[in-house]
Amino acid sequence: MTLPFPPVRTPRRVAVVSVHTSPLEQPGTGDAGGMNVYISQTATEMARRGISVEVFTRATSSDQPPVAELAPGVLVRHIPAGPYQPLGRDELPAQLCAFTSGVLRAEAFHEPGYYDVIHSHYWLSGQVGWLARDRWGVPLVHTAHTLAKVKNAALAEGDTPEPRTRVIGEEQVVAEADRLVANTQVEARELVGLYDADPSTVRTVAPGVDLERFTPGSQMLSRAALGLRQDAVVLAFAGRIQPLKAPDVLLHAAANLLRRQPELRDRLVVLIVGGPSGSGMEQPRELRELAGSLGIAGQTRFLPPQPGQALVDVYRAADVVAVPSYNESFGLVALEAQACGTPVVAAEVGGLPVAVSHGVSGMLVSGHRAQDWADALAGVALRPGRRAELAANAVRHARRFSWERTTDALVATYTDAATAFRDSVVRALQEEVAV
């Protein structure tokens, strides 16, 4: 017996779940980072296409409105769950019940079938999305962004391993999601090999870069805006200050470089842009103290997270941007820097070999030895001809990635998930009728 069901259409409304961080927050400190950019950019791009997006995130202040507009067609719903203050990720699992209740209550004010798909980001959100999926009868698409088993296999010295609670939570979400979105083929293989994901549910969708904001420009003007000497040798780091992101590797490499070439002492600038995050919150002054102990305090400049044009100036002012992370699911900073015409030296981990084309748009370094990093940084920053070649290629490489392209693939994944979800419902009903 064939049951009549309407054909699946492109989603009209998407519920995005982001429990622990809001797309309204400034990336670079606390829990705000590349995931915030990803959600903000893809939601805004969907809205431009007529798809309404509502982002559910935990309220961290009583001053936050219940609903805020991120962009036309994109709403952010602040869900009360626990105290009105930021909480560590280890504290958030205890608030998932309250958060889920708030999400379900918000949906209850609409007619049944209001949302067409749920897209959860990070495992905490996946736990909420899994329950909402079953209640609302719509498919769940999940993006992990980072995976505990992968992080624990590549811990920085002194960093805290991810707890077993998270590992189990991720395994549950992987088993329940209708589609899993991986940033790279490497992550797709990790989902299958480490989490036993069904390969047919995994889709690889590369993140993008805002090619209208991050563009090549005048290094001279950007250095003037930041108060840097025009003849400076500028090595920059942008991101959250935590062991995983490894800004200390850049400091050790800079110190190594100065030991080799002490004549650079008056010109070298190590620019660290970002705020403490994660386990870095425990010792917020540790990086400054390290710069002092290495004898490069006078060459190191710390800036808070930079919004908008100020971040563009950081990238343009640099001779090279370092991304020395121990793990990155992709590495948006690398793309943003390259789009501004600045070569990147990055660790050969996670998605960075996709974000950076080795020997073409930048350099990849195996391991985190100071000597190896000093070699790579000097090979770019101190060789103007080589730097110019990499800079031109960096712009071309970055232009292969855009949020429009990312959103195309996400919308296709949503439609694919909805089709598979409907077919599973039809099969279940047919079996029930047959009995």
- 349-405 pLDDT tens trace: 999 999 999 999 999 999 999 999 999 999 999 999 999 999 999 999 999 999 999
Q: Is residue 3 part of a domain?
A: no
* Segment 405-423, tens digit of pLDDT: 999 999 999 999 999 888 8
- Tell me: do 321 and 428 sit in the same domain: no
Tell me 107's DSSP state: H
Residue ranges of the annotated binding site for 1D-myo-inositol 3-phosphate are: 20, 31-36, 89, 122, 146, 166
- Which band of pLDDT confidence, cut at 50, 70 and 90, is reported for residue 344? very high
pTM of this prediction?
Answer: 0.91
Mean of pLDDT values over 182-187 = 95
The range of the structural domain enclosing residue 102 comes to 13-208+403-434
361 domain residue, yes or no: yes
Check whether residue 326 and residue 236 sit in a common domain: yes
140 phi/psi in degrees, rounded to 5: -110, 125
Q: Is 58 domain-assigned?
A: yes
Q: Considering the domain boundaries, does residue 6 fall inside one?
A: no
Distance CA 237, CA 247 (A): 7
- Token pair listed for 432: 């029930």
Q: Region 301-325: what's the mean pLDDT? A: 96
* Annotated binding-site members for Mg(2+): 315-316, 318, 342
Same domain, 393 and 260: yes
Task: Say how many domains are in the chain.
Answer: 2
Question: In terms of domains, do 201 and 330 share one?
Answer: no
Question: Same structural domain for residues 117 and 146?
Answer: yes
* Within a domain: 213: no
Q: Are 66 and 186 within one domain?
A: yes
Residues 239 and 348 in one domain: yes
Does residue 411 share a domain with residue 368? Answer: no
Residue 254 shares a structural domain with residue 199: no
Distances (CA, A) of 287 to 20, 64, 115, 293, 321: 25, 32, 45, 10, 18
> What are the φ/ψ torsions at residue 149 (nearest 5 degrees)?
-65, -35
Q: Which residues are annotated as a binding site?
A: 20, 26-27, 31-36, 89, 122, 146, 166, 240, 245, 306, 315-316, 318, 328, 336, 342
Residue 2 lies in a domain: no
What CATH number should be reported for the domain holding residue 368?
A: 3.40.50.2000
The pLDDT value given to residue 242: 87
Asked whether residue 1 is assigned to any structural domain, the reply reads no
CA dihedral 244, 247, 253, 257 (to 10 degrees): 170
Residue 29 has a pLDDT of: 67
Clarify whether residues 18 and 128 are in a common domain.
yes
Give which of 166, 176, 170 is closest to 195, Cα–Cα. 170
* Shared domain check, 189 and 56: yes
- At residue 26, does pLDDT exceed 90? no
Cβ atoms of 377 and 211 closer than 8 Å = no
| CA nearest to 249, candidates 272, 265, 226 | 272
Residue with tokens 């995050």: 277
Torsion of CA 208, 213, 219, 220, to 10 degrees: -170
What CA–CA distance (Å, rounded) separates 347 from 222? 26
Binding site residue list for UDP-N-acetyl-alpha-D-glucosamine: 26-27, 34, 240, 245, 306, 328, 336
313 and 409 share a domain? no
